[in-house]
Amino acid sequence: MRNLLICLAIVGVPTASAAQVAGQTTAMSLDRLVQDVVANNPERQFYQRQIETAGVERAAAGRWADPEAVVEFGQRNANDRTTGAPLGDGTTYAVSVVQPIEFGGRIALRRAIAERQVELARMGLQQFDATLAARARTLGYALFAADEKANVARTVAERMRGLARIIVARDPAGPAPRLEAASLQAGAISAERTAALADAEANSALYELNQLRGAAFAVRIRIVRPDMSLPALGSSELLADRASANNFELKALRAQFEQQGLRVDLARKARVPVLGVGPYYDRARSDIRETNYGVRLSTTIPLWNRQAGEVAVEQGRQAQANATLINAERRIARDVFDQAAQYEAKRQALTKWDGASTQSFASTAEDADRNYRLGAIPLTTYMQMQQSYVEATNALLSTRREAIESLLMLRALNGGTALVR
């Protein structure tokens, strides 16, 4: 899976039209974004081509071997059996066509191996789609969260700078107003830095999304507020069992292990002789003309058992495939337990916070701004409230993003299917 995500970073992106680049920001839901990414990703064509190639190999695996044509040229020398007198010299030639016929079910074994290759190609495409969809959703929510963080920080910065300008414009006596204005300017700078960092996160997510969906990097999109719900999942043991049954990597490794078993059987069947049958035509010319024709049979004699080495090699590969499968099962089970624990920790933390926390902090920050303008609260309380608003918003969005990333990872480990109790 990790390799698949690294591969996504090396795909070329076509250039969009000037109208697309210079146009307004397009609002998209997460579902629409995922559909757009999966439909337009350039690398997906490779996996579709792999399925077509595997289908051609499957069709070729069920065919007989090509016939063999044999042409012989020579010189004929005939003598009388009683006197030994020469009867004449002449040319001779022979033509035969032999069709090799394999026994022992070798054609059926090769076709079964090719069938597994088609299954592997299809599973590769399904795994790529599931991984791509999970990555698109992760980046989509990261883009939404970064925009929200930037908007909140920028709102606080503008609020502080506006107050600083009002205080300076009043030009009251004493150093206190000047110091308060400087403090507000410093708070605005800190909030603007937070907004700049959030903008950088948003651009990073946007550029990768544009790359994945084959769009120009300058095209701007905005994610409509997604579903924020975090469902309760079953136990880690249940999730691990489901992942063991549905995970694409494990399905592929099991198919490869089964395919390798067929290769071992095919290597053993190599000792079964191959029979060649076909017509022949033989013509000789000296003092007389002689013509022979009939059916020619040929076969191999497996006397030296040279196939034993190939059988041993295939058995070694089968043992390696089994070890790889066992290791992958343990690793994926560990990943499920790890992601489930991270998801549950983040979900529990979010359930302890009020669902309307962001709106509550926004309202409180506005009240603090209004009360400070009226002189009802000191500058320290005002600054703390504005800073708390930014930090609480960042904490909520970051925690939810991390929980959603773990949930999407669990979904990808489960073969791209939804997780329910």
List pLDDT tens digits, range 356-393.
667 788 888 899 888 888 888 888 898 999 998 999 88
Report pLDDT digits (tens) over 204-227.
999 999 999 988 888 999 999 888
Residue 239 burial (CB < 10 Å; 0-12/13-18/19+)? buried
Residue 159: how many other CB atoms lie within 10 Å: 22
List of long-range contacts for 133-136, beta carbons under 8 Å, 24+ apart: 133/34, 133/37, 133/38, 133/416, 134/408, 134/409, 134/411, 134/412, 134/416, 135/5, 135/8, 135/212, 136/30, 136/33, 136/34, 136/37, 136/38, 136/209, 136/212, 136/213
pLDDT cut 70: percent of the chain above it: 88
Residue 66: how many other CB atoms lie within 10 Å: 8
Contact 133, 37 (CB under 8 A): yes
Report pLDDT digits (tens) over 213-271.
988 888 999 999 888 788 888 889 999 999 999 999 899 899 989 888 888 888 888 77
Mean pLDDT of 35-42: 89
3-state secondary structure of 73: strand
pLDDT of residue 123: 87
| Count of domains observed in the chain | 1
What range defines the domain where residue 329 resides?
2-413
Q: Is 264 inside a domain boundary?
A: yes
37 alpha-carbon distance from chain centroid? 13
Report pLDDT digits (tens) over 125-138.
888 888 899 999 99
Q: Write down the pTM of the prediction.
A: 0.74
3-state secondary structure of 218: coil
Q: Is 420 inside a domain boundary?
A: no
Alpha carbons 398 and 231: distance in angstroms, whole number: 18
205 alpha-carbon distance from chain centroid? 18
Residue 93 phi, psi dihedral angles, 5° rounding: -150, 155
More confident residue, 331 or 95: 331
pLDDT of residue 151: 93
Report pLDDT digits (tens) over 60-99.
877 777 888 888 887 777 666 677 666 667 788 788 888 8
Q: Is 421 inside a domain boundary?
A: no
Q: Is 419 inside a domain boundary?
A: no
Contact 410, 239 (CB under 8 A): yes
Written as one letter, the residue type at 136 is A
Mean pLDDT of 282-311: 79
Report pLDDT digits (tens) over 182-197.
888 999 999 999 999 9
Alpha carbons 12 and 186: distance in angstroms, whole number: 43
Report pLDDT digits (tens) over 403-413.
999 999 998 89
Partnered with residue 94 across adjacent β-strands are 72, 282
Q: Is 418 inside a domain boundary?
A: no
Q: Is 183 inside a domain boundary?
A: yes
Q: Tokens 């920001």 label which residue?
A: 25
pLDDT of residue 13: 39
3-state secondary structure of 283: strand
Task: Name the pLDDT band for 5 (thresholds 50, 70, 90).
Answer: very low
- 265: left (phi > 0), else alpha (psi -120 to 50), else beta? alpha
Q: Enter the tokens of residue 91.
A: 């040319």
Task: Name the pLDDT band for 32 (thresholds 50, 70, 90).
Answer: very high
Contact 138, 212 (CB under 8 A): no
Q: What is the largest CA-CA distance in the chain?
A: 148
| Angle CA 149–151–153, to nearest 5 | 70
394-410 CB burial, b ≥16 within 10 A, e <16: bebbebbbebbbbbbbb
Question: Which uninterrupted H or E stretch holds 357?
Answer: helix 357-373
Strand-strand pairing, 26-28 and 221-223: parallel
Task: Name the pLDDT band for 178 (thresholds 50, 70, 90).
Answer: confident
Q: Is 313 inside a domain boundary?
A: yes
Task: Name the pLDDT band for 338 (thresholds 50, 70, 90).
Answer: very high
Q: Is 384 inside a domain boundary?
A: yes
Beta strands in 235-353 (DSSP E): 275-285, 289-299
Alpha carbons 265 and 259: distance in angstroms, whole number: 10
Domain CATH number, residue 288: 1.20.1600.10
